[in-house]
Amino acid sequence: CNHCVMEIWFWLCLQFVWMAINIFLFVYFYFFYDLGPQFFYTRHLLGSALPWARAPAAVLNFNCMLILLPVCRNLLSLLRGSFVRCSRTMRKQLDKNLTFHKLVAYTIALMTAVHTIAHLFNLERFNNSRQGLGDELSAALSELADTENTTYLNPIPTYFAFTTIAGLTGVVITLALILIVTSSMEVIRRSYFEVFWYTHHLFIVFFAGLVFHGAGRIVRSQQRTNPPHNTTFCKDRPDDWGRIPECPIPQFAGGFPQTWMYVIGPMVIYLCERLVRFIRYMQRVRYKKIVMRPSKVLELQLIKNGFKMDVGQYVFVNCPAISQLEWHPFTMTSAPEEDFFSVHIRSAGDWTDKLIEIMKKVPEGAEGPKLGVDGPFGTASEDVFDYEVSMLIGAGIGVTPFASILKSIWYKFKDSDPKLRTRKIYFYWLCRETHAFEWFADLLQVLEKEMEERGMGDFLTYKLYLTGWDQSHATHVMVHFDKDTDVVTGLKQKTHYGRPIWDKEFEQVHVDPRKTRFYFNKENF
């Protein structure tokens, strides 16, 4: 698939550019602090720990500038709209926003570890020099006092980590980052989403500490004096500093804080993002229908003024009755041609369980609890309609985008849409348990019936695969094997057991690869 290859290469090129910038920043600032003459005395106190602390700091500034941008969903939608005349390959890269967010986060975590460890060595070197455990020059540099006529280089009094701005904010930032990273692990995020959600908001503490972290100006460089202080001549004569013209007392000053300049822009953009989300949250969402499907699947058919969607997109849903802060993503299962939008919500945690319980108690035809809806987001899957043959492959609840695609194709057929090129669809759905088929089987039954009535029974070929079953189920299937409809789904197409053998499936399709679109669904949120 040429499009797939182009998307992969484009994504790899973007990663290469990002990685190249990181490497350049690290190498440049490493040698800047390792070779710069203004840091000669600083290096004498700290050794190689100085560049090992400052180089990661530069990389951290760059990545902290980027970390918020991939989660600004409305910004991405704006960019996606700006790229509408560009190739889909470019627009599709925006759907990798969370992947890039994770890459940046891993880099921040790694660079923070290197930065922290290097500063621990710096702390030990400063402390040793203050106690006179180093050479004569180190002792002289540490004894420089911050008075009217001179300046200091060694910032260590006692309890440095908790008595300076840099030390205190550094501890707070590190603790916040540890909580954010550990709670973002897959096992935590899947099983305890609320823990992940709330600890992730420690990013506010992280960025607040980051802005003030450099205000202490702990890392100091030598300043020019008149007459100049010649380090080559004076480094071996600390007793003569201030006594002979060639060796005036060296002057030191901390660099101007720069981190805030990197992050202030993304922070403002993110604040605007949250403002837009709040405005959307306040817009009224009306219920058209609440349907409880089998297997603890809730279908919500909703109406919101001005809402427009495309197939394959998703929305974020908030229910204040459960939590004012939690927003959860769901792929829409309705078609753009319908006068509402719908989501199917499977019981998969505390939040979804509470929502299902609330909806069960709503009387038929009554309005449900207040909902906030933000979206739609994601690049539409409209390219499915550009191919004569489409192969759709989904697993479990990941089948939801295909409900939207199949519905939309059917509407386009009924309306004789000239833009529709699709003439054949192969649909594969893999599930572990029989109950998972039940809610989606209704849609397939309707499509199956209407297509037969129109003489288009060959338009849709679908195969459902059950990957988990027990002996009692197998016995039941064997007893009813001769029935016209499947005992699991009620469809004419019988359920297959086990996993598909893809080589055989592709052999049976017999299509021109240049006219076929292979579409494997993976949620992009």
Give one DSSP letter per residue of 68-134, joined into a string: TGGG-HHHHHHHHHHTTTS-HHHHHHGGGHHHHHHHHHHHHHHHHHHHHHHHHHHHHHHHHHHTT-S
Torsion sign, CA atoms 293, 297, 303, 308 = negative
Paired sense of beta strands 341-346 and 297-303, if any: antiparallel
**Cβ atoms of residues 426 and 392 within 8 Å:** yes
Q: Where are the beta strands (DSSP E) in 225-294?
A: 251-254, 286-293
Task: Find the range with the poorest average confidence among 38-47, 52-61, 385-394.
Answer: 385-394
364 class by beta-carbon count within 10 Å (0-12 exposed, 13-18 middle, 19+ buried): exposed
Mean pLDDT, the chain, integer: 80
Residue 8 pLDDT greater than 70, yes or no: yes
Mean pLDDT across 227-234: 86
Q: What is the pLDDT of residue 403?
A: 80
Single-letter amino acid code for the residue at 56: P
pLDDT bucket at 521, cuts 50 / 70 / 90: very low
pLDDT bucket at 182, cuts 50 / 70 / 90: very high
Residue 517 pLDDT greater than 80, yes or no: no
Q: What is the pLDDT of residue 158?
A: 47
Q: Which of 435, 425, 432 is nearest to 463 (CA)?
A: 425
Q: Which residue has the higher pLDDT, 145 or 334?
A: 334
What are the tens digits of pLDDT across the range 410-449?
787 777 777 777 778 888 888 776 666 666 777 777 777 7
Residue 56 pLDDT greater than 50, yes or no: yes
Alpha carbon distances (Å) from 391 to 150, 428, 459: 75, 8, 12
Within 13 Å and on the Cβ side, how many CA atoms surround 348? 14
DSSP state of 332: B
| Alpha helices, DSSP H, located in 368-460 | 400-414, 435-453
Single-letter amino acid code for the residue at 164: T
Give the separation between CA 15 and CA 508, rounded to whole angstroms. 38
Q: What is the pLDDT of residue 174?
A: 93
Q: What is the pLDDT of residue 513?
A: 56
Give the separation between CA 41 and CA 43, rounded to whole angstroms. 5
Alpha carbon distances (Å) from 86 to 11, 518, 519: 16, 22, 21
Q: What tokens appear for 511 in the block?
A: 């299509």
The pTM score is 0.79
pLDDT bucket at 257, cuts 50 / 70 / 90: confident
Q: What is the pLDDT of residue 162?
A: 59
Residue 207 pLDDT greater than 90, yes or no: yes
Q: What is the pLDDT of residue 132?
A: 75
pLDDT bucket at 81, cuts 50 / 70 / 90: low
What are the tens digits of pLDDT across the range 282-337?
889 999 988 887 777 888 999 998 888 888 888 999 999 988 888 888 888 888 88
Q: With pLDDT > 70 as the criterion, what percentage of the chain qualifies? A: 82
Residue 134: phi, psi to the nearest 5? -100, -160
Q: What tokens appear for 350 in the block?
A: 């505390």
Sketch out the chain's domains with CATH numbers.
2-164+216-276 (no CATH), 284-377 (2.40.30.10), 389-522 (3.40.50.80)
Residue 50 pLDDT greater than 80, yes or no: yes
Q: What is the pLDDT of residue 175?
A: 94
